Structure 1
């Protein structure tokens, strides 16, 4: 009998597969201000806590939608590095995103976390195109979905 190591990649499983949740991350005004400086998106609802408290129904500043989106790789990195589904991955390349929705504003100072599910996989000879559904939740005590998106990545083995 010849024993071989079988590489188990997302294509070998029935999908969808829920990977898990990240740890909670607090979004500070300093982080939002840095994002505003880098992107030149300095709209006052993100950068002026006094005006945002008096002139919006949010009660203060809110996190940029694209900042929220940009945190998904950071929030999901540990899940990707430790989940056995991705053990054999050598490199991942971002191919794009589908169905991005901002469902609830995230207040500056709030905690957020990411949830990750593998929803589709196309297998090729040396790589797989994997579709992941990522969601961002806020409000640690009673989580509220704030953002969801399908991310498409090419994973090389």
Structure 2
């Protein structure tokens, strides 16, 4: 048995038996024993011994890889781009006509969206504004995810929308404003037949400090 194993065994034995040992100590010394034991636990060498098994597993554990070479290549690329802006789109105007069309489809015809004259007089925004869900629905268009000639994840047979982790609408989007989308990769996970990718999308309003929308989207790349 080497020195490390011996020290580890003794430390584990002390851990198991320290409560019994404390009961054998005279009452006036028990408080000092508790303080001494806690101090020993705080020393780095004790924690290093106790955690050596876990470290050994971590050091020898290999990183998982995808079954598909194309998926593994994409995973490596995305990991290298993590937390960096990987796409900034073109400006797009959100006209009142688009807002009205969205109101008809969703049956959300609230006047702050569909009545510019009344909104200019009574709304705190002094103009008609887009529905938050309209802004959210424009994310595929704003991040160029709907162009079949130039897909953002080349090689994937299919891209599936898995949902959203978080959505916020920090600033109202007024009719006639221009917006653009930018994208960061904030998570990549290996799943069956492909990858699950978490993107952070920011919908910026031209000449405004605060964005119209910040959302984390989750998509699955199938290979």
TM, length-normalised to structure 2: 0.62
Could you say which residue in structure 1 is the equivalent of 2:218? 152
CA distance in 1, matches of 2:103, 2:143: 23
Query: By how many angstroms is 1:142 displaced?
Result: 4.9
Higher relative contact order (CA 8 A, sep 6+): 1
CA contact (8 A) 2:135 2:212 kept: no
Give 1 or 2 for the bigger CA radius of gyration.
2
Classify 1:123/1:107 alpha carbon distance in 2 versus 1 (closer, same or farther; 3 Å). Answer: same
Q: Does the 8 Å contact 2:197/2:221 carry over to 1? A: yes
CA distance in 1 between counterparts of 2:108 and 2:96 reads 14
The equivalent position to 1:111 in structure 2, one of 154, 171, 178, is 178
Cα shift at 1:104: 0.3
RMSD (Å), alpha carbons? 1.9
Show structure 1 runs of 5+ residues with no match.
1-5
Residue 57 of structure 1 and its aligned partner are, at CA, apart by: 2.2
Cα pair 1:27 1:111 within 8 Å, conserved? yes
1:66-105 aligned within 5 A:
66-77=133-144, 81=150, 83=152, 86-105=153-172
Q: Is the 8 A contact 2:140 2:146 kept in 1?
A: no
1:123-145 CA distances to partner (integer Å, 9 max, x unpaired)? 13521011011110102x45531
TM-score under structure 1 length normalisation: 0.86
Quick check: 2:90–2:142 contact (8 Å CA) kept in 1? yes
2:128 and 2:89 mapped to 1: Cα distance? 24
Q: Quote the Cα distance in structure 2 between the aligned partners of 1:88 and 1:67.
A: 30
CA distance in 2, matches of 1:142, 1:79: 26
Deviations 1:66-116 (A, max 9, x none): 000000011112598365xx2222210011101100100010000011111
CA distance in 2, matches of 1:23, 1:46: 24
| Contact 1:16–1:117 under 8 Å retained in 2 | yes
**Larger helix fraction of residues:** 2
Gaps of 5+ in 2: 1-68
Q: Find the counterpart in structure 1 of residue 198 from structure 2.
A: 131
